[in-house]
Amino acid sequence: MTIPSPFAAPDSSRVPCIGVFDSGVGGLTVMRALREQLPDVPLHYLADTAHAPYGDRSSDYIVERSVKVAEHLRAVGARMAVVACNTATAHAVLAMRERWPEWPVVGIEPGVKPAVAATRNGRIGVMATTATIASRRYEQLVAAHAAEVTLISQPCPGLVTLIERGDLRSPELDALIQRFCAPMREALVDTVLLGCTHYPLIRDRIQAALGDGVRLLDIEDAVARQAKRVWETLGIAPVHDAGIVLESTGDPAPLQHLAREALGWRDVVATRIPA
């Protein structure tokens, strides 16, 4: 990846787009929602596959990768960013906003507030990466919104790695889901937050493990609506060819496969860029 000066403005010779990133394929769940909200805006997605999962990394590492990826997105013409990763949002969104105060950055965080509004028995589960649950931002989110409820924060190490392999129905994946769902079942939660953008890709497996009585919540659609509001403040003229670019710092095949199969973007091509 060619890294331009960190203080260079987004390349204005390029078609203006929204730059979106995640550690891997998970951010496609946000891309789906963005496409629905913003059909006329070019979207440029980077999966930092060579460095996934972020959820088992240190905070410094997540900040370093997020800044590098964001520099690439700025260089390809992104006028704003959507961090389609709860883990990168928890650790790096402030660093990104500090570095580029004029560049809007929309992040994604576990929807603790909507979950508190949705629960009927006051018992909520949160599935997220180890790094998200260990973050200061998550601690603050819980302190601000969940003081009155019982909250089971369930780190799910290993789930992202298995999802990245592409087999969303493997027995290995089911076994891990069962393990992580057991404590939440025992705690009789009635609402579970999918606090990692990879998890909606295995929503049906998680629902089966928790049972039909448990409501699963994610906030991808709310993030896309927020991104739309921000994009509209930029005053950028619509373009005729609002394409989708998919890139990966690792093997692009799983990204392309999922985009075609799960999102129905039949002609989309994912390419590899240097890590």
Residues that bind ligand DGL (CB under 6 A): 22-24, 26, 52-55, 85-87, 129, 132, 160, 196-198
**Whole-number minimum distance, CB 242 to ligand DGL, in Å?**
24
CA Rg value for the chain: 18
* Nearer Cβ to ligand DGL (16/192): 192
**Whole-number minimum distance, CB 211 to ligand DGL, in Å?**
24
**Whole-number minimum distance, CB 47 to ligand DGL, in Å?**
10
Query: Rounded distance, CA 275 to CA 270, Å?
Result: 15
Q: Which residues on adjacent β-strands are paired with residue 82? A: 20, 106
Q: Which residues on adjacent β-strands are paired with residue 152? A: 125
* Nearer Cβ to ligand DGL (15/263): 263
**Whole-number minimum distance, CB 257 to ligand DGL, in Å?**
17
For residue 69, give the nearest of 53, 87, 51 by alpha carbon: 51
- For residue 122, give both structure tokens: 């006051």
* Nearer Cβ to ligand DGL (18/25): 25
* DSSP H helices in 119-219: 130-133, 136-145, 159-165, 171-186, 203-210
Q: Which residue is nearest to ligand DGL (CB)?
A: 55
Q: Which residues are catalytic?
A: 85, 196
- For residue 43, give both structure tokens: 């979207």
* Nearer Cβ to ligand DGL (25/124): 25
